């Protein structure tokens, strides 16, 4: 279906940019009956809204002409919530109106206001800006809007969320009453509807169904990660995708600084975008991404709207967004205008429920998996090497002469190995990562695995393991860590922590016993020495791991951890893990502790008051 516009310069511009068919929102705003009417449009980000309102106001601005008259006072005012979006809108409208002779001026915070005033004095057909800066120019009489024909509010819901309501109302009150008003918003809450009713005239409401937006071209992935492996997982996701450009979202400026420095140290070409950067620095970062000097952008949500890079195929959520709307806006940086993209959420065990809720609220079905392994990336590197231009481009005479000399002194195998080393040297090294194995599709299986592990029978039948047990047919050694139920200890995060700290696999871990103030666990004897040396070094979790004499520890209250499967603890009774021959310990003052903690003594335990400690002598 061709674009429904009779303005030849616009058709020419669209054709030059490769636009063959309009997106649903573009088609909707150009239907019969929409010309010269106020429009209230609801469509998701990435659906082609900028081109949609650019086409919609063209007839209002140009009339029957194909080119603009010399620039004077602005004919159209476009208001956007962020500097990035305003600059992006300017870039889009510049090529759309390139053959119409349009003068477009951008007015945003962070730029030199004096330079903007000089441009406005020279004249403009269209002014694009953020609410605060536009209001400032109006109050200083630098922006004259008495002859305004069209007003566009882009991402109106976001402008209200960012606190621009007062500035927006000031602009709406200052513009001529006979103007045409187009309001675009991803959602239509009551505040937006009230604004439309107050400032629009008989507006035609257009709602583009979510299923027809650019988000259908986004593949969502939920990637399980172990604690403290966020950076490692990001490295491997970036390396697996090898996208021409990618964006990694963090929630804070400090996270952006930390992550960007870590990626740069590993060899990635990185730029950052956050609120602490000036506009000139943001522009430089965007230009580096566009011309290929940088391939990764680490950003806060300031880049969640308005960032449009044709080569951006990958979005990574290093930290989960606060709500489903932010998730969609972040993800909408890719999969735009029919292009395919991937949105990957990194989900540690403590954030699984939040990730599931965000995906459900956004009506998104994500594929759950672990992070790409180092082996997978190395295998992909081998395949990419075979298609690298180094091997596929025709060789010159100089290249062939050098090759012959090399073959006289080195074997083909040596030369191929050297080529592989050179190829790998220019790539960031993949990281060894651990898959914690949780997620909606694995929850039942994992719960069953923990229960089966806890029900494994004792070798000598009496529950006293004596520091040696069987892990998949071999003896084990007991280890201790200084966290327990009081620290919310749970096998679901303890298991990956043990694997990460000790650099072992879960197959080399036996039973896990969680007590009030400590946790004890089995490690296969064959790897115990290596595990002890590796686990001794903390990687930021402040947990101490050391050898233990056996499973006995401070007594569990009821069932915990692997004990949920119904297996007796070492004392022979569920919830009563006291070593043989030892009596319960009493604290000074008569208050019991351990197995005698408040809440009831175990079955068969002596009743009555605890003994009073003897009075010190002397």
In this predicted model, what pLDDT tens digit does every residue of 519-549 receive, in sequence order? 999 999 889 998 998 888 776 567 889 888 7
Nearest in space to 34 (alpha carbons), one of 70, 14, 10, 60: 60
CATH number of 8-212: 3.40.50.300
Query: Do residues 177 and 85 lie in contact, with contact meaning Cβ atoms separated by under 8 Å?
Result: no
pLDDT of residue 447: 41
CATH class of 443-585: alpha beta
Query: Do residues 30 and 54 lie in contact, with contact meaning Cβ atoms separated by under 8 Å?
Result: no
Query: Do residues 518 and 554 lie in contact, with contact meaning Cβ atoms separated by under 8 Å?
Result: yes
End-to-end, the C-alpha distance of the chain in Å comes to 102
CATH 3.40.50.300 in the chain: give the residue spans: 8-212, 214-376
CATH 3.30.70.330 in the chain: give the residue spans: 443-585
State the Cα–Cα distance between residues 140 and 116, nearest whole angstrom. 12
State the Cα–Cα distance between residues 69 and 328, nearest whole angstrom. 40
pLDDT of residue 215: 55
Residues in the chain where the model's pLDDT stays below 70: 1-2, 45-46, 209-216, 304-306, 337-338, 439-473, 539-541, 552-618
SS3 assignment, position 267? coil
SS3 assignment, position 148? coil
State the Cα–Cα distance between residues 354 and 356, nearest whole angstrom. 5
pLDDT of residue 262: 93
pLDDT of residue 485: 82
State the Cα–Cα distance between residues 237 and 225, nearest whole angstrom. 12
Helix (H) or strand (E) holding 152: strand 150-153
Angle at 51 between CA 46 and CA 57, to 5 degrees: 140
CATH number of 214-376: 3.40.50.300
State the Cα–Cα distance between residues 230 and 41, nearest whole angstrom. 39
């Amino acid at each position: 279906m061709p674009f429904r516009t009779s303005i030849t310069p616009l058709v020419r511009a669209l054709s030059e940019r490769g636009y063959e068919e309009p997106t649903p929102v573009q088609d909707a705003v150009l239907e019969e009956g929409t010309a010269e009417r106020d429009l209230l449009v609801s469509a998701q980000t990435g659906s082609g809204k900028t081109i949609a309102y650019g086409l919609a106001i063209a007839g209002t601005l140009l009339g029957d002409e194909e080119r603009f008259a010399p620039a004077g006072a602005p004919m159209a005012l476009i208001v956007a919530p962020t500097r990035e979006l305003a600059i992006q809108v300017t870039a889009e409208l510049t090529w759309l109106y390139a053959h119409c002779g349009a003068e477009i001026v951008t007015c945003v915070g962070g730029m030199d206001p004096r330079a903007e005033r000089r441009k406005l004095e020279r004249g403009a057909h269209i002014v694009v800006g953020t609410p605060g800066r536009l209001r400032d120019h109006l109050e200083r009489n630098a922006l004259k809007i008495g002859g305004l024909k069209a007003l566009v509010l882009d991402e109106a819901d976001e402008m209200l969320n960012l606190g621009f309501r007062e500035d927006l109302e000031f602009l709406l009150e200052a513009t001529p009453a006979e103007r045409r008003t187009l309001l675009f918003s991803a959602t239509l809450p009551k505040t937006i509807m009230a604004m439309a009713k107050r400032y629009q005239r008989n507006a035609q409401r257009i709602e583009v169904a979510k299923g027809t937006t650019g988000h259908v071209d986004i593949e969502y992935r939920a990637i399980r990660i172990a604690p403290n492996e966020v950076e490692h997982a990001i490295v491997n996701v970036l390396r697996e995708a090898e996208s021409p450009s990618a964006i990694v979202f963090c929630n804070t400026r400090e996270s952006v600084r930390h992550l960007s420095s870590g990626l740069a140290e590993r060899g990635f070409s990185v730029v950052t975008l956050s609120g602490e950067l000036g506009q000139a620095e943001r522009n430089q970062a965007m230009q580096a991404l566009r011309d290929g000097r940088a391939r990764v952008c680490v950003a806060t949500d300031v880049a969640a709207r308005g960032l449009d890079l044709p080569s951006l195929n990958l979005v990574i959520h290093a930290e989960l967004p606060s709500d489903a709307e932010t998730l969609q806006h972040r993800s909408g940086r890719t999969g735009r205008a029919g292009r395919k993209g991937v949105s990957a959420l990194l989900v540690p065990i403590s954030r699984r429920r939040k990730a599931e809720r965000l995906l459900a609220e956004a009506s998104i079905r994500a594929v759950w998996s672990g992070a790409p392994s180092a082996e997978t990336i190395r295998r992909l590197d081998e395949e990419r090497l075979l298609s690298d231009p180094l091997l596929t481009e025709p060789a010159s005479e100089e290249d062939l002469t050098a090759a012959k000399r090399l073959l006289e002194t080195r074997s083909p195998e040596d030369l191929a190995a050297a080529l592989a080393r050179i190829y790998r040297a220019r790539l960031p090294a993949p990281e060894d990562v651990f898959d914690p194995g949780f997620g909606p599709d694995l929850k039942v299986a994992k719960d069953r695995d923990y229960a089966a592990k806890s029900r494994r029978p004792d070798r000598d039948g009496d529950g006293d393991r004596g520091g040696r047990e069987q892990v998949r047919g071999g003896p084990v050694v007991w280890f201790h860590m200084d966290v327990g139920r009081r620290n919310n200890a749970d096998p679901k995060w303890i298991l990956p922590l043990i694997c990460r700290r000790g650099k072992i696999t879960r197959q080399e871990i036996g039973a896990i016993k969680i007590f009030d103030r400590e946790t004890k666990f089995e490690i296969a004897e064959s790897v115990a020495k290596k595990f002890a040396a590796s686990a001794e070094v903390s990687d930021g979790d402040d947990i101490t791991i050391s050898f233990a004499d056996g499973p006995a520890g401070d007594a569990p209250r009821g069932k915990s951890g692997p004990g949920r499967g119904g297996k007796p603890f070492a004392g022979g009774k569920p919830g009563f893990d006291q070593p043989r021959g030892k009596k319960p310990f009493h604290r000074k003052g008569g208050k019991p502790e351990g197995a005698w903690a408040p809440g009831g003594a175990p079955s068969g335990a002596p009743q009555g008051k605890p003994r009073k400690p003897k009075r010190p002598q002397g």
